[in-house]
Structure 1
């Protein structure tokens, strides 16, 4: 689904995208940005455990799409847990529902019965050009897609994932939540040979929803703007209590921003691995920025963000969606 190009004359050739997510307040903003942008052809939204149970994540994705009238986007429910071990959930950040805060509409349509992997496979294989896979939760569904449909890699342009860090973690001192939740799945993706871009905490901690940003959301005086502001209020209270942030970092829409306006982010090529066994470090991303290992680069790692340009982009998207 695409929106009209308000930037001026000329056509936009949108990037075909599937968004695998676990909404989550920041995932919800990523969905809004993908729906609103004329640079994105959102071919499907699939869900996974992560910020909440997969059942809640699916309901939340349907509610967000209902909020903006995007009933034509196929939704598929996916993994309830990781490839190995028990599911870790982030309700301690996002609340009982995974999207606590403002009242939301009930879903106006249902998820597809065949589930996430089948929805992803159909969306990717039916496109007229390679599709970008964006993952903003544990990357279990994407790893399963590559394992169960090995020939589909030729129809994938790249995988852009929110996860990991070049620095410290958040779920543990060294591991970011998404990579901790299913490191085996991330290992599958990193070893797949596909082009991979990593948008980690070192980048997303630059995307802070400051009081000025929230005020701009409210000033739009629309249902979507007010909803986003209330999301940031709940999300922000969690970040103040848990990590002493004055404003919450809105991680997931950074992945979509990288596609819509590439100049907002800078990148470094690096070898990236994920720790699978460490007693204290499981799920930690090892990012070799200085070529200390003999392994060649297998990912592009996001390093800096033009935060002002990022929020201009997000707020323009929210304004387009109105309501």
Structure 2
């Protein structure tokens, strides 16, 4: 197999338990992922909290070279909605980190996305949004020409066969800012969408929790504490055995795309109805006659993906 093509990445996120695991996995993979910036967006918890978490995660991973920038605090149109009932008030469940010793930089995250893409060669930068798509949408509206530099957008969001996790038909990130999601899916950028159909296949079962606890490292203890908190909530809210590991699937796709199956499709995002805002209409058969605008992840190899995440966390 030829050597892996190194990804040059902007992570746009709202840490958040699963965002935290995603960032740690990426920061532990410098041979495969060059992190150009981490930008934050209000989502799982408010902007100030997610930005503080991103900075603390950077310090925990020993990656002071990674720059963090705060972006948009709220959606484009709708009032903000948070998921602190799942992630906890501080966003990291029962996990605790030392206070960050290096604060976020002062430039706005949207401006950093624009500046980075403006100065990049064509199709050279991968965007990995794991929260509401507000920052990405504002950047693309403010300067549409930056789309030429986007190699791919690998996002966590959307739902098809599984239905929604915040409303009957909408996944959280799409529901929080459906108007931003509409802008991104209409941008013409190549998109890989890792929605609930895929991420629900990656469950933190008791056996996987045991393997995580057996690591015996600071990273293992921290991630285990975060996930224990969310597992308990999943059991209460959904009757599920093991929470879904949503956002790390995006980093897994960058590191090992062979573990994922995708299909080309057309994705349109509902913005008008208050009952179904954020619903993703995923069309594999050109029923609408509209061109394909994404690849939808249909299946993933959960055992191999979890082994990969554990191996990266063990590096920290």
- The TM-score with structure 2 as length reference comes to 0.95
Alignment deviations for residues 39-68 of structure 1 (CA, whole Å, 9 cap, x no partner): 111111111111000110101111111111
| Residue of structure 2 aligned with 1:159, choices 147, 153, 161 | 153
Which residue number corresponds to residue 60 of structure 1? 53
| Residue of structure 2 aligned with 1:77, choices 65, 70, 73 | 70
Which residue number corresponds to residue 249 of structure 1? 244
| Residue of structure 2 aligned with 1:285, choices 280, 286, 299 | 280
User: CA offset at residue 302 of structure 1?
Assistant: 0.4
* Distance in 2 between residues matched to 1:122 and 1:71, nearest whole Å: 21
User: CA offset at residue 103 of structure 1?
Assistant: 2.0
* Distance in 2 between residues matched to 1:275 and 1:123, nearest whole Å: 30
| Residue of structure 2 aligned with 1:263, choices 258, 261, 264 | 258
* Distance in 2 between residues matched to 1:85 and 1:149, nearest whole Å: 23
Contact 1:75 1:119 (8 Å CA) reproduced: no
* Distance in 1 between residues matched to 2:283 and 2:110, nearest whole Å: 31
* Distance in 2 between residues matched to 1:191 and 1:152, nearest whole Å: 14
2:219 matched to 1:209?
Answer: no
User: CA offset at residue 152 of structure 1?
Assistant: 1.1
Gaps of 5+ in 1: 1-7
| Residue of structure 2 aligned with 1:100, choices 93, 96, 99 | 93
Q: Which moved more, 1:271-280 or 1:135-144?
A: 271-280
| Residue of structure 1 aligned with 2:307, choices 305, 312, 322 | 312
Alignment deviations for residues 279-319 of structure 1 (CA, whole Å, 9 cap, x no partner): 32111000012332111211100000100110011000001
Alignment deviations for residues 210-229 of structure 1 (CA, whole Å, 9 cap, x no partner): 12212212212110111111
User: CA offset at residue 126 of structure 1?
Assistant: 4.2
Alignment deviations for residues 9-50 of structure 1 (CA, whole Å, 9 cap, x no partner): x96541101100000100001101111122111111111111
Contact 1:16 1:127 (8 Å CA) reproduced: no
Gaps of 5+ in 2: none
2:297 matched to 1:302?
Answer: yes
2:40 matched to 1:20?
Answer: no
Which residue number corresponds to residue 117 of structure 2? 124
2:74 matched to 1:47?
Answer: no
User: CA offset at residue 127 of structure 1?
Assistant: 4.5
* Distance in 1 between residues matched to 2:85 and 2:9, nearest whole Å: 29
Contact 2:6 2:33 (8 Å CA) reproduced: yes
Which residue number corresponds to residue 4 of structure 1? none
2:26 matched to 1:31?
Answer: no
Q: Number of paired residues?
A: 313
| Residue of structure 1 aligned with 2:232, choices 237, 241, 245 | 237
Secondary structure of 2:314's partner?
Answer: helix
| Residue of structure 2 aligned with 1:150, choices 135, 139, 144 | 144
Contact 1:112 1:119 (8 Å CA) reproduced: no
Alignment deviations for residues 245-273 of structure 1 (CA, whole Å, 9 cap, x no partner): 11010100101111110011100111100
